[in-house]
Structure 1
Amino acid sequence: MTLEVPQHILDALTDVDMPKLPAEPATAETIVVSGAEMPLYRRACVVVGSGAAGLRAAVEAKRRGVDVLVLSQNAWGGTSACSGSDKQTLHTANTANAGDNFGAMARALGAGGAMDEDTAYVEAVGSARMMASLQYLGLPLPQDPLGGTLRYQTDHDEVGRATSCGPRTSRLMVKVLAEEAIRLGVPILNHTTAVQILVVGTGAERRVVGVLALRAAERTEANPLGLAVFRSDAVVLAAGGPGELYRDSVYPNGCFGSLGLALAAGIDLVNLTESQFGIGTRREGFPWNLSGTYVQAMPHIYSVDADGREHHFLADYYRTTRELASNVFRKGYQWPFHATRMLDFGSSLVDLAIVRESAAGRRVFMDFLRNPLPVGDDLPFSLDRLDDDVRRYLGTAGADQALPIERLRHMNPLAIELYRRYKVDIAREPLEFAVNNQHMNGGVMVDVWGRTSLSGCYAVGEAAGTHGVTRPGGAALNAGQVFGTRAAEHLAARFDPDPADAGTAGFHEAVGEALAGVRAVLRPGSPLSVRTIRAEVQDRMSDKAGMICEAAEVETALADAKSLNARIRSEGISYGRPAEAGRALQWRQMALASEAVLTALDHFVRSGGGSRGARAIIDRDGESLPLARTGALEDCRFRKERDAQRGEQIVVASGRDGMRVSTRANRSFDESGRSFFERDWPDWLTGRIFSSGGRKSAVDG
């Protein structure tokens, strides 16, 4: 029996209206540097980005008496507000039915390697507090009759720590946090693009003193670009990941992230080799991840060639109908590609097959009106002929309906409703999709308080490189909330900025250097345009540094990325209207981010790096060979992962002589350590807990 959910409930969880922004604060001050007169704003803390992580940082800073301001390129238009999946996940400790504890969750977060053990513990401990505070703000997480939070299993999660409000979980998070920020009086400046971090000092004395930005509201005849200066001794980078880096991407359009900003300021980045790729609808239409119940309903997946002929291509990869359907189902909680799951006819063989179909020029669809077709002359699809784990799940869910659309409607009617809102009725027509880049697991290197290598600068959310190789699905939403809070706690406790003090040594010089950098990039007569740079960067990253990565091609791709940045330095980027200047500067940042990712990947490959979460390193001498029903896939032979590399992270920074690359060991953590109240309470009372990057031993989880 299918449970009917009233339409008004579906509407409330699908069409999430965002709050109206309050009037923006004005400033009566100006600053004149290098002949440019620009408005000057003073705040104790500037948060760059208005997604869930940035708003959490702003809310928590404001609660602690910090004079904070948020800069947003497009309020409610970023990844948090516009992305999702069938039932978008928040990953938190689960004490309801699995005997979970913080130590176990921390080990699960870092299980794939390249993750600091103390960071994993911080995220685990903070998860319960974050979930409770979001519920207090009004996030409608589902509960059972006794108050327990409803849970399910997600990617890289064997316990079942996932919960969800439906497909719009992160948008609902942004909504409740935005409402709280507005209630607290946090100013949010919309249509404001940060283009340079202002830095003073040298060596170990380098520190942040503000941000140079472009603001549509500040454009005048005397200031055609709308340049504005923000004076602050604390800056929180929270503008998300580099969504524009790949052509094949499920990010919303216009998501440039914070990595280029950080690189230009000389801040250390880490784990840039680690991303997530998975199936979803293309960004040209309605970009959305096709995880969870979309594939657990087991639709028929096929491709169409240029002549309009259908191809049941998965039948070339799996040996039986049962094996094919069961692995389509497993994409629900094994959504991101993982190289090892291409072996033994696992679920990532689905991703590989789709990538190969796309490379052959065929379009790929899933049809919810048809069950999977038989493999060869094998028996037809039947709910009684599925692997045991699949049958148990569907049986518990009561999903015994005849067709995929009926099973999907029973398990998750919101999944159908969501696409209908965007003029795609999957109850009537097939859904075109592909394998896309979805998330950057690496990013700005931070400590357990969210501090970067630049004093006074923090990074939270997807901008921060805290996720390691195989983060569980939904762990990123939790991490952004945890580190948004911790960054605010730290800056409120340790910083005593005086935004009224304009006399910081070197401040005017920092603004002048930033302004010179902007002028060096923006050159109306340059042969380089936003369009040409975008095409070159995205094609190179998707074709040479995507899910399937040829080891022999990475070095050439890196050389080409370096060449592009050299041309940008010498020739600049052309632009037309003043409104286009921001995009030109953001593509300069994206070109830098591309070179940084390829620098890390080239170092990884040269060091013998093997295949793990983000991508398969294809090598004709590789030890691992995927098999298909039609035979061995020799062109997909790949390197095995080197276990030793799980214990280290690749660090990249941009300097005068180009990108610098090194490695560092994961920070270790003694989980067996115990706190003692009377001994440790003074550290909290006096603020000594904020003086270092964190303790070496854990409290009792």
Structure 2
Amino acid sequence: MKEGQYRYCDMDVKVRSYNTVIVGTGAAGYNAADRLYQFGQQDIAMVTENRLSGTSRNTGSDKQTYYKLSMSGCEPDSVAAMAQVFFDGQCVDGEHALCEAALSAQCFLRLVELGVPFPHNRYGEYVGYKTDHDPSCRATSVGPYTSRMMTECLERSVEQKGIKVYGHHQVLRILTDKGAVRGLMCLNRQTKEYELFCCKNIIFATGGPAGMYAGSAYPIGHYGAAGVAFEAGAVGKNLTEWQFGLASLKPRWNVSGTYMQVLPRIVSTDREGGNPREFLNDYFKDRGEMLSKLFLKGYQWPFDVRKVMEGSSIIDLLIYRETCLKGRRVYLDFRENPGGREIDYGQLSEEARDYLERAGACFGRPIERLLHMNAPAVSFYMDKGVDLKSEMLEIALCAQHNNGGLSVNGWWQTNIEGLFAAGEAAGTHGVYRPGGSALNAGQVGSTRAAQYIAVKGQGEAVTPEELFRCCGGEIDEMLALGVQALFAGGEITGSEPEADYLQELKERATERMSRVGAAIRNREDIHKTCEEIRRELSSFKDSIRILGREQLGPMFRLRETLICQYVYLSAMEDYIGHGGRSRGSALYTDKEGRLPDRTLPELFRFRLDEGTLRDAVQEVSYEKGVCSFRWRKVRPIPEKDDFFENVWRSYRSSKNIF
């Protein structure tokens, strides 16, 4: 590590030099740092805007799942079988499916050794259960906070190694030259000064682009930074594929599993909380069917367009209609049974009735059933200041996980030499994925990147003088943007509302994205919004104004969010143009399609994708305000020569890193 002060553009700039900088302090980022150190590359540092924020540390569910290779019982499992499940999720490249299966056991057991208390039986078998899109029993959990425990254990390991973590640093620009990483430009949110990092490698572990949406299950304080990567020239992959589901708004938390299986009352009100209505009764004429669908929503939690016509995802649409189309607010009410009367459990589907009977939960009110089946689920909200015994819980259909992301190769390196992506920032998932596989993918991807860097990414970064010479244009552009915004803001006098100016712009942008580019999408609105954002970006420098340096960070974030929204919406429009139809967690309005019920708006008319694009991968590049697209065939699962002597010989010479 080297550090110094340099004069650039008439100001003093702090410059640090490392072989590798990891951006993000979630489970994937900490694992990348921990693995790099373990593999011998110790000239590393971590950069984060807020060490205690982020999805890994602050999100979960009633039983947050980690998906791994089976390690118990007599049910057969194999790397090939697990890889096939990933690959069958559609639009998944084979090398990612194979790597995420092959390194599953190694990464899982590493977490066990670091102290994550995954349960095993008295003989040492790590038992599992089935999760969504999972034909086996590969899932495990340590409760609501699985990813938090992972992050904290990995963090302790990194701290013990003395790896430097730079907090309060917002990444503004990935600096590149001739298609390779040269450094990072950051804003120190404490000092309000710009700082630079010279580096040969960057592992981008910033999570999904949570800042794009207003309706979000991501924790407050998690924004993502995909727009920074797109601006640097990194290619996006499968950006259309998201996971949306029902979540509480305060706090942001998935209301999956037991929250729905205890059959709460669902109520909508006007914006002020008046005129309460149990709106599900308007759609379901059969009470038993309504309750059964509500139960299924527990473990069919993600919105799945295949489950609209006959399954539980119709409930997501009904809630979307109340909130986004009617402008009402929707709540879970655990204080009373639906309809305010006793439940006849004999009216439920066999699946729901059998589950509740085996759980001994065929009694009382929803809150009593929830306390009986999953008391920690009640305690979680109590810890956040919400007493489910005495108040309702506001919910909405929210963005929860991006299955797409940056396009990476088998070592999780992007098209830019030295730029790697791990965790949700990497687009290794397809349309469908087993629940909990994202946690496994983050550990595997960061391990693969570290393995590659430790062997192929050695060497020192460019000097500060060389960084200024080869990347001065990129640095100057960001500096000029800040100067212009401050100058424009300085011309404003006596305008107190200007303090909320950036916040208003952000809210308008994110609400627009939730309305147009979330679970319900139609081509006309997407095209119109793309044009709006394109104009906003082209005039951003000339129109933006800030009142002081404390607003530099929010201003740069707004710009990054707009870039991200533009790229993602452009990908959705291109997908429709290629004949793409409703699949995964996205319903695309189709005038020639089916309407779930004649009482529902035409916006919900759709046609299911029948697999015509299941073997096609959409990739997108962003350059100077223009998106370009490439469609390619999905790469198959690699065929391997596993003859031991051949593998061993190759491993001795190159560690099998190519």
Match of 2:595 in 1: 625
Match of 2:460 in 1: 498
Give 1:526 shift.
4.6
Match of 2:337 in 1: 371
Decide whether the 8 Å contact of 1:243 with 1:254 is kept in 2. Answer: no
Decide whether the 8 Å contact of 2:402 with 2:424 is kept in 1. Answer: yes
Secondary structure in structure 2 of the residue aligned to 1:170 = helix
Q: 1:682 to 1:81 in 2, by over 3 A?
A: same
**Is residue 304 of structure 2 the alignment partner of residue 334 of structure 1?**
no
Aligned residue pairs: how many?
A: 642
Q: Distance in 2 between matches of 1:126 and 1:425?
A: 42
Q: Distance in 1 between matches of 2:216 and 2:522?
A: 20
Give 1:593 shift.
0.5
Decide whether the 8 Å contact of 2:337 with 2:343 is kept in 1. Answer: yes
Secondary structure in structure 1 of the residue aligned to 2:338 = coil
Give 1:341 shift.
0.9
Listed as ranges, the matches of 1:502-581 within 5 Å are: 502=463, 506-522=466-482, 523-526=485-488, 530-568=502-540, 570-571=541-542, 573-581=544-552
Q: 1:293 to 1:150 in 2, by over 3 A?
A: farther
Q: Distance in 1 between matches of 2:169 and 2:40?
A: 24
Secondary structure in structure 1 of the residue aligned to 2:574 = helix
Give 1:290 shift.
0.6
- TM-score (norm. length: structure 1): 0.87
Q: Distance in 1 between matches of 2:394 and 2:562?
A: 30
**Is residue 47 of structure 2 the alignment partner of residue 76 of structure 1?**
no
Q: 1:443 to 1:582 in 2, by over 3 A?
A: same
Question: Which amino acid letter does the alignment assign opposite residue 473 of structure 1?
Answer: G
- TM-score (norm. length: structure 2): 0.93
Q: 1:259 to 1:503 in 2, by over 3 A?
A: closer
Listed as ranges, the matches of 1:239-388 within 5 Å are: 239-282=206-249, 285-305=250-270, 308-344=274-310, 346-358=311-323, 359-373=325-339, 381-388=343-350
Q: Distance in 2 between matches of 1:327 and 1:496?
A: 55
**Is residue 585 of structure 2 the alignment partner of residue 614 of structure 1?**
yes
Listed as ranges, the matches of 1:122-141 within 5 Å are: 122-141=99-118
Deviations 1:22-76 (A, max 9, x none): xxx9x65123333332111111110000011000001000112211100010002
Match of 2:492 in 1: none
Give 1:632 shift.
6.4
Q: Distance in 2 between matches of 1:116 and 1:253?
A: 32
Q: Distance in 2 between matches of 1:278 and 1:543?
A: 15
Match of 1:648 in 2: 616
Deviations 1:573-608 (A, max 9, x none): 322332321221121111110010011001011122
Decide whether the 8 Å contact of 1:33 with 1:512 is kept in 2. Answer: no
Match of 1:665 in 2: 633
Question: Which stretch shows the higher mean deviation, 639-648 or 523-532?
Answer: 523-532
Q: Distance in 2 between matches of 1:675 and 1:227?
A: 51
Give 1:334 shift.
1.2
Q: 1:271 to 1:174 in 2, by over 3 A?
A: same
**Is residue 151 of structure 2 the alignment partner of residue 174 of structure 1?**
yes
Give 1:549 shift.
1.1
Decide whether the 8 Å contact of 1:279 with 1:436 is kept in 2. Answer: yes
Q: 1:433 to 1:555 in 2, by over 3 A?
A: same
Decide whether the 8 Å contact of 2:486 with 2:548 is kept in 1. Answer: no
Q: Distance in 2 between matches of 1:674 and 1:414?
A: 48
Match of 1:20 in 2: none
Give 1:453 shift.
0.5
Match of 2:19 in 1: 44
Q: Distance in 1 between matches of 2:198 and 2:603?
A: 54
Secondary structure in structure 2 of the residue aligned to 1:84 = coil
Decide whether the 8 Å contact of 2:582 with 2:609 is kept in 1. Answer: yes
Q: Please, which of 212, 231, 243 is the counterpart of residue 185 of structure 2?
A: 212
Q: Distance in 1 between matches of 2:278 and 2:624?
A: 53
**Is residue 578 of structure 2 the alignment partner of residue 604 of structure 1?**
no
Secondary structure in structure 2 of the residue aligned to 1:232 = strand
Decide whether the 8 Å contact of 1:155 with 1:336 is kept in 2. Answer: no
Q: 1:634 to 1:515 in 2, by over 3 A?
A: closer
Decide whether the 8 Å contact of 2:220 with 2:252 is kept in 1. Answer: no
Aligned-pair RMSD on alpha carbons?
2.2
Secondary structure in structure 2 of the residue aligned to 1:310 = coil
Q: 1:318 to 1:95 in 2, by over 3 A?
A: farther
Give 1:674 shift.
5.0
Secondary structure in structure 2 of the residue aligned to 1:638 = coil
Decide whether the 8 Å contact of 1:238 with 1:460 is kept in 2. Answer: yes
Decide whether the 8 Å contact of 1:200 with 1:507 is kept in 2. Answer: no
Taking only the aligned residue pairs, the percentage that are identical comes to 34
Secondary structure in structure 2 of the residue aligned to 1:130 = helix
**Is residue 401 of structure 2 the alignment partner of residue 439 of structure 1?**
yes
Give 1:121 shift.
1.8
Q: Distance in 1 between matches of 2:648 and 2:544?
A: 55
Decide whether the 8 Å contact of 1:409 with 1:416 is kept in 2. Answer: yes
Q: Distance in 2 between matches of 1:260 and 1:561?
A: 13
